[in-house]
Structure 1
Amino acid sequence: MTLDNTQAQALYGNRFATERAPATVFPTSGMVPTDAFRLLEEDLSLEGDPQRNLATFVTTWMEPEAQRIIAENLHRNFIDHAEYPISAEIEQRCVRMLADLFNAPGETTGCRTQGSSEAIMLGALSLKWKWKQRREAENASTDRPNLVFGADVHVVWEKFCRYFDVEPRIVPLAENKYTIGPDDVAPHLDENTIGVVGVLGTTFTGHMDDIAGMNQLLLDLKSERGLDIPIHVDGASGGFVWPFLYPDTRWDFRLEQVRSINVSGHKYGLVYPGIGWLVFRETADLAEDLVFYENYLGKTDATFTLNFSTGAAMVLAQYYNFVRLGREGYTYVMQQMKQNATALAENLKAGGRFEVIGSDLEQLPLVAFRLNGDHEGYDESDVSWQLSAERGWMVPAYTLPPDAEKVKIMRALVKETMSREQVERLTRDIAEACTTLDAKGGAHHRERQQTKIGTGF
Structure 2
Amino acid sequence: MSALPEAIEESSGCSTQLRGGITLFGMDADEALATVTERLSGEGRPERNLATFLTTSIEPEAHRLYRTYLNYNLVDREQYPAIDALLRDCVGIIGTLWHGDDSRVVGSATTGSSEAAMLAGASLLRSWQERSGREWTRPNLVMGAGAHACWKKFCRHWGVEARVAPATGEGPALNGPAVERLCDERTIGVVGILGSTLDGRYEPIAEIAAELDRLQEQRGIDVPLHVDAASGGFIAPFLDSEMLWDFRIPRVVSINASGHKSGMVLPGLGWLLWRDRSRRRAELGVSINYLGGDDAHYELTFSRSAAPVVLQYYNFVRLGFAGFRKVHARCRSLARLLATRLQATGRLRVLGDGSELPVVVVTAEPPVDLRELSKRLAELGWAVPVYTLPPKQEDVEVMRIVVRNDLTSDDVEDIASAVEDFVSHAN
TM class by shorter chain equals: over 0.9
Per-residue CA shift, 1:166-209, capped at 9, x if unaligned?
Answer: 11111101233331201011111111110000000001000011
Q: Matches of 2:85 and 2:214 in 1, distance apart?
A: 40
Q: Matches of 2:232 and 2:136 in 1, distance apart?
A: 33
Per-residue CA shift, 1:213-243, capped at 9, x if unaligned?
Answer: 1101111122223221100101001111111
- The one of 375, 396, 401 aligned to 1:407: 396
* 2:98 counterpart of 1:102: yes
Give the match's secondary structure for 2:344: helix
Give the match's secondary structure for 2:415: helix
Q: Matches of 1:364 and 1:177 in 2, distance apart?
A: 15
Report the TM-score when normalising by structure 1.
0.87
Give the match's secondary structure for 1:367: strand
Match of 1:379 in 2: 369
- The one of 148, 156, 180 aligned to 1:154: 148
* 2:91 counterpart of 1:118: no
Match of 1:59 in 2: 55
* 2:196 counterpart of 1:202: yes
Give the match's secondary structure for 2:256: strand
Gaps of 5+ in 2: 1-8
Contact 2:104/2:276 (<8 A) preserved: yes
**Which contiguous aligned blocks of 4+ residues in structure 1 show a shift greater than 6 angstroms?**
none
Task: Give 1:325 deviation, angstroms.
Answer: 1.0
Aligned pairs for 1:24-423 within 5 A: 24-105=20-101, 106-136=103-133, 140=134, 142-359=136-353, 362-372=355-365, 374-375=366-367, 379-388=369-378, 390-423=379-412
Contact 2:46/2:56 (<8 A) preserved: yes
Task: Give 1:433 deviation, angstroms.
Answer: 3.6
Give the match's secondary structure for 2:371: helix
Give the match's secondary structure for 1:51: helix
Q: Matches of 2:43 and 2:424 in 1, distance apart?
A: 27
Q: Matches of 2:34 and 2:18 in 1, distance apart?
A: 13
Contact 2:232/2:357 (<8 A) preserved: yes
> Cα–Cα, structure 1 residues 152 and 22, in superposed 2: closer, same or farther, change >3 Å?
farther
Per-residue CA shift, 1:222-279, capped at 9, x if unaligned?
Answer: 2223221100101001111111111111011111111000100000000000000000
Q: Matches of 1:355 and 1:226 in 2, distance apart?
A: 43
Per-residue CA shift, 1:120-147, capped at 9, x if unaligned?
Answer: 00000000001111123xxx55422110
> What is the RMSD of the two structures over their aligned residues, measured on CA atoms?
2.1
Q: Matches of 1:236 and 1:111 in 2, distance apart?
A: 14
Report the TM-score when normalising by structure 2.
0.93
Q: Matches of 2:260 and 2:64 in 1, distance apart?
A: 17
Task: Give 1:39 deviation, angstroms.
Answer: 1.2
Give the match's secondary structure for 1:283: coil
Q: Matches of 1:141 and 1:123 in 2, distance apart?
A: 18
Q: Matches of 2:191 and 2:129 in 1, distance apart?
A: 18
Q: Matches of 1:141 and 1:61 in 2, distance apart?
A: 46
Give the match's secondary structure for 1:252: coil
Question: Counterpart amino acid of 2:405?
Answer: E
Task: Give 1:432 deviation, angstroms.
Answer: 3.3
Per-residue CA shift, 1:372-412, capped at 9, x if unaligned?
Answer: 2x21xx62122112211x20111110000011111111010
Task: Give 1:24 deviation, angstroms.
Answer: 4.4
Contact 1:175/1:407 (<8 A) preserved: no
